[in-house]
Amino acid sequence: MTFNKQAIRSSYVRPIDFKRGRVEMSHGGGGRAMTQLIETLFVSAFDNAMLSALNDQACFSPPTGRMVMSTDGYVISPLFFPGGDIGCLAVHGTLNDIAMAGAKPLYLSAGFILEEGFPLADLKRIVASMAAAAQAAGIQIVTGDTKVVERGKGDGIFITTTGVGSVPDGIEIAADRARPGDRVLVSGTLGDHGITILSLRENLGFHTEIESDTAALHDLVANMIAAVPAIKVLRDPTRGGLATILNEIALQSAVGIAIDEHQLPIREPVRAACEFLGFDPLYIANEGKLVAICPPEDADRLLETMRAHPLGQAAAIIGEVIEDPQCFVQMETAFGGRRIVDWLSGEQLPRIC
């Protein structure tokens, strides 16, 4: 690798002003300004040999086992929120999609769509947050892309990350594997992320008590798989919340799912905010939680394993898979009744991730 950082650096006209500077159209133009931004910001923050080779692609050895690939776009507003920002969210969210196949995440790519005029200080903060999240998760951001659109044609920054990972042999996790009798578990409290964003957007003032749960779940998943290799389904209840992913699982597995409202872990301030605002926490997005479905005989061991992990301390068994040709999700309510937990029809909360 003879990449000559010194030579590139000496060819820059002036250093980038990361304090007061803003994104300019030239930062997406393919010329010196773009190279300078990539070299001084992204390559430096995501520091790894593949990225600093400055090829248009990363090259690595294929993993053993099966491979998984997942992509997600991040358009969250606001960009910064209690508990995180669009940067760490863009790392955690895609890592989690990889982990939900029972896979170990390996590499990430990151594509940035920047709006002209976006403060470079914010960009730097977001990139630093991505780098920290990647490092904490033990994965590398190995290739990327930057585009700039004119003022008014974007909204500050959009990030699309794509991850690849590998699934150990013998692990078969997919949304169509739930069977009647299986138990349904969640890894922790519901609705923290969505209510945090909502409270910021609506300026409701209770955001001091709640923060986003954004977190990378692959380490928790690795522990869970080690303890219970027979886990059948893993899903992270992001957009659309618990209700949506349970409906997806029910449909794909051609089963019904019955949950018990008593068992749902929900923080008191989240419950209060939902009541105040008329939202149902079942539909609120999470960014650091997972739903697991496993055979009944493994449920207690799985629960114990989850609770032993920092990200699963509030884990709970919330219900079971039942026979139902109509694939309904139903809930025994706190008042002893029973109701259908339907698909979300419209948009509950836009730009939540």
Residue among 152 and 336 whose Cβ is closer to its own copies: 152
Q: How far is the CB of 221 from its own copies (least distance, A)?
A: 13
Q: Which among 68, 45, 67, 81 is positioned nearest to 287, based on CA atoms? A: 81
Residue among 149 and 222 whose Cβ is closer to its own copies: 149
Q: How far is the CB of 152 from its own copies (least distance, A)?
A: 7
Q: How far is the CB of 314 from its own copies (least distance, A)?
A: 23
- Amino acid letter, residue 94: T
Q: Which among 88, 143, 148, 83 is positioned nearest to 115, based on CA atoms? A: 148
- Between CA 195 and CA 200, with CA 199 as vertex, the angle to 5 degrees is 120
DSSP assignment of 197-233 equals HHHHHTT-S-TTT--------HHHHHHHHHH-TT--E
Residue among 146 and 189 whose Cβ is closer to its own copies: 146
Residue among 139 and 303 whose Cβ is closer to its own copies: 139
- Using a 10 angstrom Cβ sphere, with 0-12 exposed, 13-18 middle and 19 or more buried, the burial of residue 102 is buried
Q: How far is the CB of 39 from its own copies (least distance, A)?
A: 11
- Helix (H) or strand (E) holding 342, with range, is none
Q: How far is the CB of 146 from its own copies (least distance, A)?
A: 8
- Between CA 13 and CA 19, with CA 16 as vertex, the angle to 5 degrees is 150
Residue among 26 and 223 whose Cβ is closer to its own copies: 26
**223 touches 309 (CB < 8 A):** yes
42 is written with which tokens? 């992204």
